[in-house]
Amino acid sequence: MRRAFLMVCLAASTTLVGCGDESNGQPAPDYVRKIIELVEHVENETVTHTDAEKVDSVGDILTFANPVFDKANAKQVATDQGYCIRTEVGKSWECEWTMFLADGQITVAGPFFDTEESELAITGGTGAYVQASGEMYLGFRDVPPPKVEYDFVYHVIVPY
Ligand SMILES: CC/C=C\C[C@@H]1C(=O)C=C[C@@H]1CCCCCCCC(=O)O
């Protein structure tokens, strides 16, 4: 049974499709891995300060809702919205946000570091991304001020 399952599983596999383990004797659901590369343009962000006298303090809340472009940074393909809470002044924030793509939503949670790139966990999704998991890499893009753009690379795992 296990051998037959593995053969079917391997036969169905491509670089994007995998098979789970059989820990309880039953074939685990297959899954699709997808890499989605996007460029976020920071256009709408607001910081609500917990201490009106300071520009940066623990507990500050940053909310945002931005347009998101394709990998070539040529065409808008999505929007996002979310928030981050300041956890360590000058160093890090903790964030949650939703990416709205044409075929569904992807949610993430995790850190944003002021001077380092970060990885966030994919926490779920809707539409084509129901039960999504995986991780998202956030990278800084070198663009002339006052522009701010981020690379968002989603490594999504979706059962099918
Ligand atoms: C300038 C950063 C603006 C938007 C938020 C980012 C985004 O769109 C997705 C994740 C980012 C989270 C940024 C958290 C903190 C940035 C601090 C910038 C500031 O103090 O104004």
Ligand 1: which of 40, 84, 153 to mutate, judged by most atoms within 8 Å of the beta carbon?
A: 84
31-159: CATH, from 2.30.30.280, 2.60.34.10, 2.10.109.10, 2.40.480.10:
2.40.480.10
Q: Is the pTM higher than 0.90?
A: no
With a Cβ cut-off of 6 Å, ligand 1 is lined by 40, 42, 45, 47, 62, 64, 66, 84, 93, 95, 112, 148
Q: Which ipTM did the prediction report?
A: 0.90
CB burial of residue 71 (10 Å; 0-12, 13-18, 19+): middle
Measured at the alpha carbon of residue 57, what is the angle toward residues 54 and 61, in degrees to the nearest 5? 110
Q: What are the pLDDT digits (tens) for 21-72?
A: 556 677 766 999 999 999 999 999 999 999 989 999 999 999 999 999 999 9
Domains in the chain: boundaries: 31-159
Report the alpha-carbon distance of residue 144 to residue 51 in Å, rounded. 31
